[in-house]
Structure 1
Amino acid sequence: MEFWGAKVEAGKPLKVKPDEDYLIHLSRACIFNGKEGETALLDVTVDGKKFVIGYLSQEKIPQINLDLFFEKEFELSHSLERGSVDFTGYKTPDLDEDDDSSSSEDYYTSSDSEEEEEVMVHSIITANGSAGAAASSVAKPAEGASVCTLWMDVDEDDSADE
């Protein structure tokens, strides 16, 4: 892993192209010298499609954590009229690339597990980011909530190892 960072000035979008066989992980965004009371929408453009990835406020939310990986060119921008936003993270090798010596599946999979079962888990996230009620007790998500689907590998019988 290697540190990565970029300063995006107001009105000057920044194109970023990861090195071949590397990913860029965006971990944090911080507002710098924004106008008092001004808020910033943080945007990323990938394949010509623009997405809002965060919101900053000089007084209330000067920084946010991100967890975004990019394997191809992307563009960072924000809506500040003056000031800048610092984006930080790290560069890491792309373990999903085909490699004859080992595969990313081998890297992430325990060799002693004989059989794995995929289990779908729903997690309700409310608008303020707090965890909602347990999925088993909710018939449908609350209005305005997002549903996140997580896949987990579950060992059917861990007691046999003891």
Structure 2
Amino acid sequence: MILFDFKELNAAKSWYGVNDTVMGGLSRSKLTISPLGYGMFSGHVSLANGGGFASVRCEFEPKNVSEFTGIYLELDRDRSKHYKVNLKDADTPQSTVYQAPMPDAKHQSFGVNGGSIIHWQRIEIPFTAFHPQCRGKPIERAEIDLSRLTSIGLVIGAQQSGDFALKIKSIGCY
């Protein structure tokens, strides 16, 4: 089941940034669509003013994904950067997310876009890998309600300062 296909020019419209600026930091991020047919989560992580994370998220009407095992992303990433995926259900409080790190790729392929080689990877994250967190700290909370998924987010943090760029073809459930 495809949730987001970034070949569509309007695919980034509903995504918005949530960065460390909410606590005085200076990081920035955005999700845009390349004319070459993929999404680009990019920006700059700054450690100034106690910051250190950047993220984008998309909220949507509740979707029932309980028949699936997890989330997949088709992407191209800089291996020196570490990203995470956030999920929310209809009952998740504003400051809480269910978070999992992006693992190594299950499948890899190469493509040429605009004269540059893109190393597409498919990563799979089982829903069981997502754990509740509030402002970056683990908390006790019931498992995510997969019959009412309402948000997906992408995060770079862990004090990784500097520019970043994550190319995404699609996000879906497997």
Q: TM-score, normalised by structure 1?
A: 0.34
Higher relative contact order (CA 8 A, sep 6+): 2
Query: More strand per residue: 1 or 2?
Result: 2
